[in-house]
Amino acid sequence: MSRLVNPHGGGELKPLLLEGAARDAELARAQTLKQVKMSSRETGDLIMLGIGGFTPLDGFMMHSDWQGVCDAYKLANGLFWPIPVTLSTDDESVKEGDNIALVSDSGEIMGTMKVSDKYTIDKAHECMMVYKTTDLEHPGVKMVMEQGKYNLAGPVKVLSDGGFKAKYGDQFMTPAETRKKFEEMGWSKVAAFQTRNPMHRSHEYLAKIAIETMDGVLVHSLLGALKPGDIPAAVRSEAIATLIDNYFAPNTVIQAGYPLDMRYAGPREALLHALFRQNYGCSHLIVGRDHAGVGDYYGPFDAQKIFEEIPKGSLETVNMNIDWTFWCNKCGGMASQRTCAHTKDDRILLSGTKVRAMLSEGQDLPVEFSRPEVAAVLKKYYQGLSAEQNVKIELKGHSAA
């Protein structure tokens, strides 16, 4: 019997991706159906439904689910869920009862859906409840406000992983695959480290704190779309692999990736990160400063506090809170606000914006912030960008970690 946490909802994993003859037949049927084009975020959500990352959902949410998730963190059936998973369109002709083909921006047929509900939403309400703002400068708010007029709901059949397996190989692991790997390694206490950035010294420190008390750490890197100025997944993955190979003990870390786009929903997204890491088999989620945040929309530790505000038992995967971390010159190493007695004048803190600016200008990162091998990978990437691209990175970069 598995010693890992149960998939969300307490049952088995529920992957919706068809294979073999069943996939071939459904793809042939899909080519005869009305097509609805999905956004990048919706495509990522569909792939997560396909691989079982959003277990136990069977498709995009109905109005009652959307309302419950926005207002009370729960689906219509009462199951905990922190962020709406919805599909939108402006197509007036789609009706309830229709079968539709779901198509990516590139034109690939990704799945099919039987429309069980077509409804409109108060987009500003979703933004206030999920993102705590209606400011269009917030990238998550912008995504919601640019959605189509109608939401379409219904069970889906998924036909593609969007090419993630072909592009990323063994790094693109499904929940079934990470669970199998954890079992093979004899792990039951597994901490997930969420990242959309390369791992610098503070991130390394967070992971090593977890390794001290866990069987291992899953460095789980976002492979979907980011905001302008963020470092591409392939470069980030190379930098993380370099760090793991050079600075972590063998058999303590697994690097994997998942296909979602960032929503930048701060506290609510931290809950979603814990929920789908439960499906991947992780017992803990490392939550540090400004988890899944952007700009100054959330307090630095709001993502930790929200775990205390949801009903007990909502999730089996629990938060592992770690304070603000940094290099302290007087301590002579990495420390946190809980362990360091010195002042800010002794601490080296670099924001993501500052790091990107330094790299784009060809400067070396201080060894107190980044391991030299990691900095070399990032410097090579930035040197390959045009001067115009580097200027855009400086202007558009945010300080979210």
Catalytic residues: 196-197
Which are the contacts of 46, defined by CB distance < 8 A and separation ≥ 6?
38, 102, 110, 111, 156, 158
Question: Is residue 165 within a helix (H) or strand (E), and if so which, with residue range?
Answer: helix 164-168
Q: What are phi and psi of 52, to 5 degrees?
A: 90, 5
Contact yes or no for 304/338 (Cβ under 8 A) = no
Residue from 160, 178, 157, 263 nearest 220 by CA: 178
Residue from 292, 297, 331, 338 nearest 136 by CA: 297
CA angle 336, 339, 342 (to 5 degrees): 85
Contact yes or no for 254/219 (Cβ under 8 A) = yes
CA angle 324, 238, 273 (to 5 degrees): 50
Contact yes or no for 269/83 (Cβ under 8 A) = yes
Greatest CA span in the chain, whole angstroms? 68
d(CA 202, CA 200): 6
What is 255-314 written as a DSSP string?
EEEE-PPP---THHHHHHHHHHHHHHT-SEEEE-TTTT--TTSS-TTHHHHGGGTSPTTS
Place of tokens 């969420």: 194
